[in-house]
Amino acid sequence: MGEVNVASSRAVERAFAVKTVAGDARNGGMGDGDARATSPTPSTPPEKEIEPTKKRRVTPGKASFAFDVHDGAMPFAHDERGEPMFGCETCSFDPDGCEKCLGGPPIRTTWIRERALAYDVPPVKTYRPTEEEWAGDPLEYINSIRPEAEKYGVCNIIPPPSWTPEFCLPDKESLRFRTRIQALNELQNRPAGPSARARAKMLEEEGDDAANVSASTSGRMGGGGGGSRMGGGGGGGRMGGATPEDVEAVVKQYGFQQGARHNLTSLERYSKYFKSTYFSEHGEPQNVSVKDMEGEFWRLIEASEGRNVEVIYGADIATMHVGSGFAKAGVNCPPGQETYASSPWNVCNMPYNSESCLSHVEATTGITVPWLYFGMTMSAFCWHVEDHSFYSVNYHHFGAPKVWYSIPATHSKQFEEVMHRRLPHLFQSQPDLLHSLVTILSPKILQDEGIPVYRVEQHPRSYIITFPYAYHAGFNTGFNCAEAVNFAPIDWLPFGVGATERYVRDKRYQSVAHDQLLSTLTQSAHKHPRFPKVLAEVMQERVDTEEQRVEAAKPLIGQFVRMENTAEAPDLNERDCTTCKADLNWAGVACSCSFGKGRGYVYCLRCVKACECAVEKRTCFYRHTVQELREQVSELRRLAAGTN
């Protein structure tokens, strides 16, 4: 039967994915740009709220204390030009800083408590399954709450008290991961083009003196949001030719900058330092609640004149390379964790649930293989939906709460229209903005547009489930760790059809070959009582469309040849349409003007006219006749009738 081939690298689309490096445990080295931690990572990371420590601010050698009237007359260290200085000059300005200053962006200002923006955002539904419900199938449970829960876009699931898995990430003391820098005030308010930081870096690389100008004065663009789904891992290989130079070109174009490499200890340390410094008044750290931080977060997002507040985020770290936070069944499973290793609620197992369509998809980083996320105070993940509008599950391993916002799928199209109308300049320079996870609009703006927005706080040991085509965003309130992956029960399938159509419209690479998945699910439908009814409807519509396309293309094609995986009749399973990136599993058109010369150009039935050669030079390679596809639909209907 075979597995569905998946784009193996999608390297350009994942240009902003975090790269991870397993450091040498013997010397603890992290290489250039590392944030070195002096203490080892604890075996059980803390999850309690970090208490602020008292700070003694020291008068800097070449700076003076002054009052920043615009920011509420708080005392900061200023240089001779009157610019506020919080760190370094290694490190006269703050006794709790350094190691330049603890491996993150410099802190240039503090919060303004009285200007916080408090929004009235209603909560999503929270569910607390019983021990009996928890012992069952997660997809069965999610299906039972779906009619109510999907109205909110996401839901919160709190396991029974007996669910206490350990954080089992292997080699966590030696793990090193690359962070990304986020300028919070640029996530909503920015002009088109690269970020200030990116432009300064490019100028510096070109030797331009203008690079010495503060990045905060040269433009705005958001740092990469968390939870990006624009990337690939091991799969069928439809974008394996992207080079590191290709990736760097995209990074430069859209302005994302990498931060230092960190380990768990050093990121927690910087998060503490940022929190106690930024959330301070008159030099003294303040106790801040989640609501306090939320108000400041949205003030920064909404501010038209931003204050250049930057944070870092360890996002999209591939468990395929570094391991999962959940125990893994086998010889290295820690004692007492065997039950958690095999549990269907272990996020590593959820994509491969027998009732998940993704159980027929090969291992793919970020889709069927989880990603880890290490957050810090006010690091954000921007508005997005999952690849192919899949479901997702996010488990909070430890640390400070995450605050989520959601929009139900019923209003996702309206949300996209609002984004285009509110930010036309960004879409002009970056048409795939909605796929790039770099933009946040506040709940207030969306509510004013008539779009329902919901909110939830996620705490350790809890799950957030995102439903198909539901936009979601949020931020971290401190150092924490979460792990996320996709899954796809059969009710996802119609959403997958819509996602594929949007990908073709946007000429975006697809991580899953949708037509091949339909064929694979059809072949296995007799094993899954819930599959035939949904599959029959989706396949019927798809086959009708295929017939229309074949009939429209016939006058434009010289010959039709069945795919046989030979030189004369190649299998196009691994190919995408040169024009619109549609997968060519069912049919593709090649022209003798280019096909066979290297890989050549191939087109879907919609894009035949993209090649201007004579009709006789074009060949359509097909896998099934329309009649064969209709017979598959008939068999699905027979199966559905027998299972009702």
Over the stretch 496-517, which tens digit does the pLDDT of each residue have?
A: 999 999 999 999 999 999 999 9
Average pLDDT over residues 456-461: 98
Above pLDDT 70, what percent of the chain? 69
Amino acid at 385: V
- pLDDT for 505 equals 93
Position with higher pLDDT, 126 vs 69: 126
H, E, C per residue of 508-545: CCCCECHHHHHHHHHHHHHHCCCHHHHHHHHHHHHHHH
93-101 long-range CB contacts below 8 Å, 24 or more apart? 93/57, 93/58, 93/60, 93/63, 94/55, 94/57, 94/58, 94/277, 95/55, 95/56, 95/57, 95/58, 96/53, 96/55, 96/273, 96/276, 96/277, 97/273, 99/35, 99/36, 101/273
The answer on pLDDT for 303 being more than 70 is: yes
Contact 353, 486 (CB under 8 A): no
Ramachandran region of residue 252, left (φ > 0), alpha (ψ -120 to 50) or beta? alpha
- pLDDT for 277 equals 86
Average pLDDT over residues 316-338: 89
The answer on pLDDT for 24 being more than 50 is: no
Q: Alpha-carbon distance 414 to 446, whole Å?
A: 10
Position with higher pLDDT, 257 vs 605: 605
Q: Alpha-carbon distance 484 to 372, whole Å?
A: 7
Contact 454, 405 (CB under 8 A): yes
Render pLDDT for 171-192 as a digit per residue (tens, 0 to 9): 888 899 999 998 888 888 665 5
Lowest mean pLDDT among 30-44, 381-395, 533-547: 30-44
Q: Alpha-carbon distance 270 to 100, whole Å?
A: 11
Lowest mean pLDDT among 98-102, 216-220, 370-374: 216-220
Above pLDDT 90, what percent of the chain? 52
Residues composing the chain: 644
- pLDDT for 224 equals 32
Q: Alpha-carbon distance 582 to 588, whole Å?
A: 10
The answer on pLDDT for 563 being more than 50 is: yes
Kindly compute the dihedral angle of the four CA atoms of residues 558, 559, 564, 569, in this order, to the nearest 10 degrees: -40
For the chain, give the mean pLDDT: 78
- pLDDT for 184 equals 86
- State if pTM tops 0.85: no
Q: Alpha-carbon distance 152 to 408, whole Å?
A: 5
| Domains in the chain, CATH or no CATH each | 1-26+110-506 (2.60.120.650), 513-643 (2.10.110.20)
Question: Please, is 462 exposed, middle or buried when counting C-beta atoms within 10 Å of its C-beta (0-12, 13-18, 19+)?
Answer: buried
Contact 455, 314 (CB under 8 A): no
